[in-house]
């Protein structure tokens, strides 16, 4: 019998991965907000249409980032001015949001990092109810959100889709610029993530060892519980990270962190296509059984079992 051939190409990478302590992280989506006040992207986009007196069809099976672009192109006037005003409208509608009990419970869970796609500061307000964003941006990012984190709690809070206030206050670099909602922003973000993780054949190991921290690294080094995230196909950066991680693992890189997707069992049929894809990418699926399609019970069980 032939001995198993070890791919020496990944020896250093696997040694680096073994040396990294496996900490826990949470990826938190907009589902937590829908529990509190039934707020959804559909509602926000409809309100934007109404205040601008335009007719754009907004519905669940239509990509929200592309719908935002349709709305933007439907508004008369200067394109960049309109984009800024729409982002400011979104920020103003969220600046007084939360925190609620669920935010407090999430912040109190035993984990080192919380990655959230939400722009609001409900998590930070669990610790400081007056928190309103970065005061002095320094060398912080102004549009993209790869490296910017808030450590107001003893955890790293990463607003991976942008946040209400990055501290910049100019005409072009305005506080709400990082809010990621349009398709163009999503596409540019994926390009930056691709360049960060995969600059060349040897680049992945250098990425892991880099002193410059980023939430992206957690997908390869941390055990991540994903919750309240619907995994729409427009979330191309998250899908790409899972796919690329699965490809590297197939080639011989020994990732021993677990990425788990938590979802209520009553959404199994609705999510089936996405669940099949996630499973093929090595994501652990965790259907949480609840009674009477009770979404509150779903969150309670997740927090209790975390």
The pLDDT averaged over each successive group of 10 residues in the chain (306 residues) is 56 91 94 77 89 91 92 94 94 91 96 96 95 84 94 90 94 94 95 87 84 95 97 95 96 94 97 98 98 94 96
- Which one, of 89, 86, 68, lies nearest residue 77 by Cα? 86
Dihedral pair phi/psi, residue 127, rounded to 5°: -95, -45
Alpha carbons 124 and 57: distance in angstroms, whole number: 34
pLDDT of residue 137: 84
Alpha carbons 96 and 53: distance in angstroms, whole number: 25
Residue 76's SS3 state is coil
pLDDT of residue 202: 64
pLDDT of residue 1: 47
pLDDT of residue 255: 95
pLDDT of residue 193: 96
pTM of the full predicted structure?
0.94
pLDDT of residue 199: 65
């Amino acid at each position: 019998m032939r001995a198993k051939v070890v791919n020496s190409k990944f020896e250093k990478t696997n040694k680096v991965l073994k040396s990294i302590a496996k900490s826990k992280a949470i990826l938190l989506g907009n589902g937590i907000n829908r529990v509190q006040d039934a707020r959804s992207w559909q509602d926000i986009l409809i309100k934007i249409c109404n205040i601008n007196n335009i007719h754009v069809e907004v519905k669940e099976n239509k990509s929200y980032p592309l719908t935002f672009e349709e709305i933007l192109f439907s508004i008369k006037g200067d394109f960049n001015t309109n984009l800024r005003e729409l982002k400011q409208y979104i920020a103003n509608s969220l600046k007084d949001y939360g925190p609620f009990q669920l935010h407090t419970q999430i912040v109190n869970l035993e984990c080192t990092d919380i990655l959230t796609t939400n722009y609001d500061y409900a998590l930070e307000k669990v610790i400081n109810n007056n928190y309103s964003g970065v005061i002095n941006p320094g060398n912080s990012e102004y549009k993209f959100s790869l490296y910017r984190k808030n450590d107001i709690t003893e955890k790293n809070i990463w607003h991976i889709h942008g946040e209400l206030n990055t501290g910049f206050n100019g005409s072009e670099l305005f506080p709400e610029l990082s809010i990621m909602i349009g398709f163009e922003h999503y596409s540019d973000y994926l390009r930056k993530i691709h360049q960060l993780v995969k600059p060349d054949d040897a680049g992945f190991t250098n990425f892991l060892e880099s002193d410059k921290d980023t939430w992206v690294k957690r997908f390869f080094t941390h055990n991540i519980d994903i919750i309240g995230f619907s995994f729409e196909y427009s979330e191309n950066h998250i899908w790409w990270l899972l796919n690329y991680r699965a490809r590297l693992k197939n080639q011989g890189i020994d990732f021993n962190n677990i990425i788990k997707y938590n979802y209520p069992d009553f959404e199994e049929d609705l999510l089936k296509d996405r669940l099949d894809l996630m499973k093929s990418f090595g994501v652990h699926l965790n259907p949480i059984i609840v009674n009477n399609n009770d979404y509150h019970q779903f969150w309670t069980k997740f927090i209790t079992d975390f």
